[in-house]
Each structure stands twice: as C-alpha cells, then as structure tokens.
Structure 1
Amino acid sequence: MASVDVVIPNYNYGRYLEACVTSALSQEAAAVRVLIVDNASTDDSVAIARRLAAADPRVELLLRPENLGPHASFNAGIDWARADYFLLLFADDFLVPGALRRATAVMEKDRAIAFCYGHAVAIRDDAPLPEVAAQPAFPTVELMSGRAFIERFCYLGVFQIPGPSILVRTSVQQRTGHYRTSLPHSDDYEVWLRLAMHGPVAALDCVQAGIRTHAANRSTDLWTHQSLHVLHTAAAAESFFHHEGRWLDGAEALRKRARRGIAQRAYWSAVSHALQGNAEALRLLNVAFRLSPFTALVPPLGYLLRRRDMMPRVRSLLARALR
C-alpha cells in the first residue's frame, strides 16, 4: 500500500476544515497521514484542528502563534513529509473518493513519473460538498515527458491544472525544494515547472479534487483582474528560467517562447473582456504588447490552434460578438 502525506494549510477556514480533512482521511487504498498547518487563525480553526487530531492519530498539527504566510506552511509541509507521495490540499478544497487510489496506482506502475494530476469540480462559497459521480477505477492517462510539459506551458502561457489534484513523488518534491517567497501568487506555477525537470508528468482523465471559490481565496483578485494573473505568471516563468530552468537545453529560446505565449494568452483574454465591455481588456492588451510588441501588429491566431479548448472558446467569442 502506497503512503501519502497530505499537508493542509489553514488560515481562518475553520468552516471548511473538517470536510477537507475528512476527504483525505477517507481515501481508500492509501496509508494517509495529515498535517494541518494553522497560521494563527482567529476563528475556531484551532479548536476544530485539535478535535480532529484527538479523534484520529493520523492527524498531526502545527499551530503557529503568528501568521508566517502561506509559503511557510507549504515549506514546513515539504520538510515534514516522509511518505511515498506528497499532496498539498488547501483547507477550503477537498479530494473526491478514490482520488489517491487512482493517482498512486498510476505512479506505482511507472516509478519515473514525477507527479500526476486530474480534473476538478467547482464549488461556490459555503455550499456543501457536491456528490461527484463515480470515477473510472483505471482512467485514461496522458503521459508526457517533463520537457514536453514545460514546452506546453511555454506555448500556452498558462497551466490548466487544478492544484489540489496534484500528487507528487515525495523524493522528487524534496529534491525540487521549497516554494519561493518572491512569487506570492505564482509560486505553484514555478514549482510545477521545477518538478517537471525530474521526470514525466501524468494527466488523469478523471475528477480528482474539488476547488472552492469564495471572497477569501488568495487568488480571487487575480481572477477578477486577470492582467495581474498574467503578470504573476510571467514572473514565475522568469524566475524558473533564471534559476533551475537555465540548465535546460535551449533555455533562452524557451524563456522567450514562454514570454510570447503569456502575451498571446493576454491578447485573447483582452478580446474576450472587450466583447463583454470590461475595462480589464485595456489592461490586458497593455500587458500583451509590453511582453510581446509583435502582438500589436499581428493577431496571434496560431495561439488559438494550440489550445485544446479552442472551439468552445471561439464559439463563446462569436456568441458575445453577435450579442
């Protein structure tokens, strides 16, 4: 039986904490250990965490007397982990039944895989956890080399990966190292790029996790003002290619390709916002032209062809234009 260490960072998410922890502890076919890292919450999080730990010896606690920020929680979890696999699960998210069994089965079959991920369902505000349809025991798996994973990011300028679905081989995570505090909102992107330098990446065609969106999410402002998300993504790419990524063959060409990919993503996002009459369109265009001035001259049509979700996006854009 594979072992999995699940780190649950928490700050004032007491209302979600028990459901999150239960979703991890109830996973079958995996020896699970949970570490709740609380960053000096001012709600009832600590009382709930202590009750959960008292009820199940698999739950351990790191209760900080002061808030050291999310990076300290992530990195403490990396240092704490000793199981075969490592998963970072925010306290407002959850794992669907069977997620760890499916993920560990794929990674046990191919010991070279650095990490795997699946799809996620969305849940809004304080809604109860949804009923998720039974997922295939042996889902279709797309296996790509670490290099191909990095190149895909460079061409698209974004990751379409739900964070709580990512299961990492612990030895790879600890070789990769800590989350960088210099990247307050794109630290995960940069870590995923670094992880991919250590082996292949597996994408599971099944739902593995749930992501809750609400006003207190640390990424809420980034999705409201998408130009900020684009800028933070560009910062993650620059950091990666300035540090570990500089050792890749053709690193400078990849860095430039990532810059263009991020600019092209910003361009089409600007078009979408413009069709909705949203002022964010101008900010996105400004970011796109700053990252890649060529986009001001020639619309990057090739970018749409590289997106797997091209046709739904084109249909959506046309519908908005017609309206």
Structure 2
Amino acid sequence: MRCCWPCCCPAMACWGRPWPTRPALGWCCWAGWFISGLFGGRVVMLSPVSAPLVTIVALCYNHAPYLRPALDSIRAQTYPHLEVILVDDASTDGSAAILREYAAANPTWQLLLLPENLGNCRAFNQGLVRTRGEFVIDFATDDVLLPERVAKQVAAFQQLPGSYGVVYSDAELIDEQGRVMRRHFRRDRQGRILAPRPASGWVFADVLRRYFISTPTMLMRRATLEALGGYDETLAYEDFDFWVRASRDWEFYLLDEVTTQKRRHPQAMSRRGYRPHDPYLASTIKVCQKALLLCREAAERQALAERVRWEMHQAARWRSFAGAWELYQLLHKLRAVQLSDQLLGGALRVLRWF
C-alpha cells in the first residue's frame, strides 16, 4: 500500500492527486507519523499507538452554499486518525446530494440522512451514538476547520490531566463569502486578549456569569459527553447547557491559537434569540433553572444572578415580556433582586400578558 502523506514520504508522487483519488493511508505513515507542536516550550510527539481516535460529527441543516469548504476542511486535517460522520437534519436545499457525493468519495465516512428535522441537539446525539472516538468535535457545516485544528488540540489534551473535558481556542469570524471579519477574542497590539476574558481550569462560575467560549472551537472528551448523557434534547440549542453541566465536574482549557473559522450569516443560530415566543430564549431560561440546582457556593449563585439579570434585560428589550418575567422570578429564587430589578419587575407583571 502506497503512502499519500508527504509529511512522512515527501517523494510520493500521489500528493498531487485530487483528494478522492489518493490511495489510502499506508502503514509506513503510521510507522513514521508524528505531531509536532510547541506546548509550554516543549515539542509534543504522538506515536501511532498514543494517537487517539477523534470523531467529527459534521451536522448539516440547509448549509448547501457553505458545505464544500466545510467538508474540504475535514479532508485537509493534518491529523490522520479521524472518524467522520455526516449528519443531515432533513435539509431542503440540496445539501443531502452534496453529502452523498463526499461520502462516496470518502468510503470511511459514515452518512446519516435523517428523514425529519430533529433539531441540533437530537441530531447531534443521533450521530454521536454511532461513533467511538475518544475525543469529539461538534462541527456545524457552515464553519471551516483550519488544517492543524485537530492535531493541535489533541496535543494539548495529551499534556493535560484526565480531569479536563474540553479544549477550546480562538476563531476567525468570516462572512458569507469567507472573508475574515475579525477574531473571536479581541486583542491589544501585543496580542494579549482583551475581551471576552477567557478562563481555564474549573470554570463553572465563569460560564454562568458570561459568554467567552467560541462553541465551534471545542474539542470534547467523549467521557464528558457520555457522563452528561449527550446534549439535552429538550433544548433548542446546546452550548450554554453543555458548558454549565460539563464545567461542574470537568476542567476546561484555552489553547490560545486560531483553529477554526466561524461563519456569520443571517441563517446562523447565533443571530437569533430573545424575540417573542423564541425557543432559544425558553432554552436559556431552562438552563438557568438547571444551573441553580448545580450551584454549591454563594459566589456561584452570584455569578448566575448576573447572567439571569442580563438575560432578563435582553428579553425585555426585545419585548419577550413573558420570558423576562420568568427570569425575574428566578432572580427572586436567587435572592438577588435589586432596586432596578424591582422597577422592571413591576412593569413585567403587567406586560407579560401582552
């Protein structure tokens, strides 16, 4: 079997072939393959034996305009020990045909075409249970993975204790045409992060208080996901709930590099929320209620109160008065109602019926 990885066998003529026609990964690759990267001033080397299997759950719903760059970015990964499952959540825009094309060109990839739209959380879980990788990427197929994304994050995990369940990183935000708009983390001229302020280690109070993780950049330990029972399928979106529940018992780590391009476009989930009768607001409220049961210390309850107050004001601003009223009631349970909250609560008591 010939080798197609020039990092191991640079003389191989097959490197110039299109991806679908390259020969399979040869054993000579496994014998000489390594990941090298700077981590704390040291070079990290992974042997074939120690290289864990990484699962990419590529989740698609009407991503046809962005699907090819996303799937090509999987094939461009420098880390070879990958398991890929393509999950289509009953797209209506021709995405399924593109997914079939890529699955046919990559026989090791699994393809799951769901007959009905299940929503992000249920669809992801359907893909997850069909895989076995030690680490998992939840990959929305309107985003793009940079070539060394998996290799660098696996190398980071290899240097961390088993108590770490998530490695996340910086991202480039791109527009519909793929042009870079800015980075997730805003920095000063020396490259130091200004905002949002990241956190590593035990971050439960941090994820309650504020948003700082770029969801598409996460590499998750499968044991973490399994301990949680996967994503909560009663929710309209997954990340806030995952952060809260995972950070209660697992540590998080920031790999301070750009590993992913996150696409911003009108159809993206992150552009919706807080409108009246919006399912994402209802999910946020439910997660805050779950978080209250997980709080163990006064500082954690205070952090949650800050989040609830912020969410309440956002809901009121967008005239989601019933949702804002629920959040006001949660502030009462937290015994964190301030004078300004009382004034807003008085208005919400009436407006929630409209």
Deviations 1:190-228 (A, max 9, x none): 122222234321012111212212222233221778x98
Tell me which residue corresponds to 2:216: 164
The 3-state SS of whatever aligns with 2:104 is helix
Match of 2:205 among 151, 156, 159: 151
More deviation in 214-223 or 84-93? Answer: 214-223
Tell me which residue corresponds to 2:230: 178
> By how many angstroms is 1:176 displaced?
2.1
Deviations 1:47-81 (A, max 9, x none): 11111111122321001222222222111122123
More deviation in 163-172 or 20-29? Answer: 20-29
Tell me which residue corresponds to 2:273: 222
> By how many angstroms is 1:240 displaced?
3.9
Structure possessing the higher radius of gyration over alpha carbons: 2
State how far apart, in whole Å, the 2-side matches of 1:10 and 1:143 are.
Answer: 30
Native 8 Å contact 2:289 2:330 kept in 1: no
Native 8 Å contact 1:21 1:34 kept in 2: no
State how far apart, in whole Å, the 2-side matches of 1:57 and 1:265 are.
Answer: 48
Q: Does 1:192 align with 2:192?
A: no
Alignment of 1:249-264 (within 5 A): 249-250=296-297, 253=298, 256-264=301-309
Deviations 1:4-36 (A, max 9, x none): 110011122122112112212211134122111
Computed over aligned residues only, the root mean square deviation of the Cα atoms, in angstroms, reads: 3.4
Deviations 1:62-121 (A, max 9, x none): 012222222221111221231121010111112123111111111011241211101111
State how far apart, in whole Å, the 1-side matches of 2:324 and 2:338 are.
Answer: 8
Tell me which residue corresponds to 1:307: none
2:203 maps to amino acid: F
Tell me which residue corresponds to 2:140: 90
State how far apart, in whole Å, the 1-side matches of 2:133 and 2:279 are.
Answer: 36
1:159 maps to amino acid: Y
TM-score, normalising length: structure 1: 0.72
Alignment of 1:288-307 (within 5 A): 291-292=330-331, 296-297=338-339
Native 8 Å contact 2:125 2:230 kept in 1: yes
Cα gap change, 1:29 to 1:68, in 2 (>3 Å): closer
The 3-state SS of whatever aligns with 1:21 is helix
Alignment of 1:255-274 (within 5 A): 256-266=301-311
Tell me which residue corresponds to 1:204: 255
Alignment of 1:38-77 (within 5 A): 38-77=88-127
Native 8 Å contact 1:85 1:170 kept in 2: yes
Cα gap change, 1:79 to 1:129, in 2 (>3 Å): farther
State how far apart, in whole Å, the 2-side matches of 1:131 and 1:215 are.
Answer: 15
State how far apart, in whole Å, the 2-side matches of 1:189 and 1:104 are.
Answer: 23
Unaligned runs of 5+ in 2: 1-50, 184-192, 342-354
TM-score, normalising length: structure 2: 0.66
State how far apart, in whole Å, the 2-side matches of 1:118 and 1:209 are.
Answer: 8
The 3-state SS of whatever aligns with 1:222 is coil
> By how many angstroms is 1:163 displaced?
1.0
Match of 1:15 among 65, 74, 79: 65
Native 8 Å contact 1:27 1:97 kept in 2: yes
Tell me which residue corresponds to 1:102: 152
Cα gap change, 1:286 to 1:39, in 2 (>3 Å): closer
Tell me which residue corresponds to 1:33: 83
Deviations 1:141-169 (A, max 9, x none): x8733xx3101123x2x322111100011
Native 8 Å contact 1:266 1:287 kept in 2: no
2:254 maps to amino acid: A
Native 8 Å contact 1:10 1:37 kept in 2: yes
Cα gap change, 1:230 to 1:48, in 2 (>3 Å): closer
Tell me which residue corresponds to 2:130: 80
Bigger RCO (CA 8 Å, 6+ sep):
1
The 3-state SS of whatever aligns with 2:273 is helix
The 3-state SS of whatever aligns with 1:191 is helix
Aligned residue-pair number: 274
Match of 1:123 among 174, 179, 189: 174
1:52 maps to amino acid: Y
Match of 1:236 among 263, 287, 295: 287
State how far apart, in whole Å, the 2-side matches of 1:286 and 1:200 are.
Answer: 33
